[in-house]
Amino acid sequence: MIRSLILIGFTYLIFHLHITGDINKYINMKYSYLSAAAGYALLVLTIVQILMLNKEPSKDAGCDHDHCGHNHSKEDKWYKKLYIYPIFAFPIISGLFFPIATLDSNIVKAKGFHFPIYDEGQGDSFMQQQFLRPDTSVYYGKDDYDTLMKKEKKKYVNQSTIILNDKNYLKGMETIYNFPGDFLGKEIEFKGFVFNDKETIDKNQLFVFRFGVIHCIADSGVFGMLVDMPEGTKLKNDEWVTVKGKISTIYYQPFKTNIPYLKVEEWSKTAAPKEQYVFRGY
């Protein structure tokens, strides 16, 4: 009986998320067909469980040999059920009734952030990096990757102002980090939330980030850029801003390397976008 309810709960949770559209607050919609399929499979299991429930009395009485050994729920001790079923019930209740939280600077603090810095156009810091990982330059198979990234680069380099939106945010950022040299002095505009760390807090600097999601938000990470704000601007974590300015590079002590950064010329506070995450398209 309780098992049927649990299966109904799981099935309902999945369909509920799909129908309300809240599923995109948990996973990359590119993989939504997987969870939809799981929803249907669970529906089948639910029906099976309910039918099993109806058949049970006769089974227990007769225990014809091919059914012995099934129905282990009957063998479970009552005190086991006392903690097993609440375990199953918890995600159903918390998934349906607790408000869905959005990842913010809190999670950035816990997870940290990394930039995909490659070995193009890097100065001395490049040598230091190589010292830490001696054989990587051979290993990243420059040929294939270069062709792919150069194609990406062409798309952006010739534009006078590069505007990163929900769709091209991740690709665009990756391209800039790959070829910081080619983007020096380019004008770029993007939106994100503010993150201050102890390196930037005393300066006119802060990070503008967005969470990028691969599969589900458990594997998300932040992508964005260090920005240099006009004198005296202080913003709190998680405030959403649109920034526009020219790309430059700066030595960032914690990473011991040069990273691209944005010298902001124009900026404004904006409302958080409807979809706060950006999704990886491939």
* Binding residues for other proteins restricted to 19-48, rule: CB under 8 A: 23, 25-27, 31, 34-35, 37-38, 41-42, 44-45, 48
Query: Which residue's CB is nearer to other proteins, number 205 or number 257?
Result: 257
Per-residue binder mask for other proteins (CB under 8 A), 101-120, x = binder: xxxx-xx-xxxx-xxxx---
| Minimum distance of other proteins from residue 111's CB (angstroms) | 5
When asked if residue 87 is in the footprint of other proteins (CB under 8 A), the reply is yes
Helix (H, G, I), strand (E, B) or coil at 15: helix
Give the sign of the dihedral formed by CA 170, CA 171, CA 177, CA 182. Answer: negative
When asked if residue 122 is in the footprint of other proteins (CB under 8 A), the reply is no
| Minimum distance of other proteins from residue 248's CB (angstroms) | 19
The residue count for binding other proteins (CB under 8 A) is 78
CB contact set of 191 (below 8 Å; sequence gap of 6+): 164, 165, 208, 210, 240, 241, 242, 243, 270, 273
Beta carbons of 134 and 269 less than 8 angstroms apart: no
Helix (H, G, I), strand (E, B) or coil at 263: strand
When asked if residue 82 is in the footprint of other proteins (CB under 8 A), the reply is no
Could you tell me the end-to-end alpha-carbon distance of the chain, in angstroms, rounded to an integer?
Answer: 43
| Minimum distance of other proteins from residue 72's CB (angstroms) | 5
Query: Which residue's CB is nearer to other proteins, number 144 or number 231?
Result: 144
What is the enclosing helix (H) or strand (E) of 8?
helix 2-20
Of 99-107, 198-206, 243-251, 262-270, the segment contacting other proteins by CB under 8 A is 99-107
Question: CB-hemisphere CA count at 13 Å for 198?
Answer: 3
Among 179, 203, 198, which Cα is nearest to 264's? Answer: 203
Query: Which residue's CB is nearer to other proteins, number 13 or number 264?
Result: 13
Residues 205-244 that bind other proteins (CB under 8 A): 214-219, 221
Query: Which residue's CB is nearer to other proteins, number 39 or number 245?
Result: 39
Phi, psi of 104 (to 5 degrees): -145, -160
| Minimum distance of other proteins from residue 173's CB (angstroms) | 12
Residues 156-215 that bind other proteins (CB under 8 A): 214-215
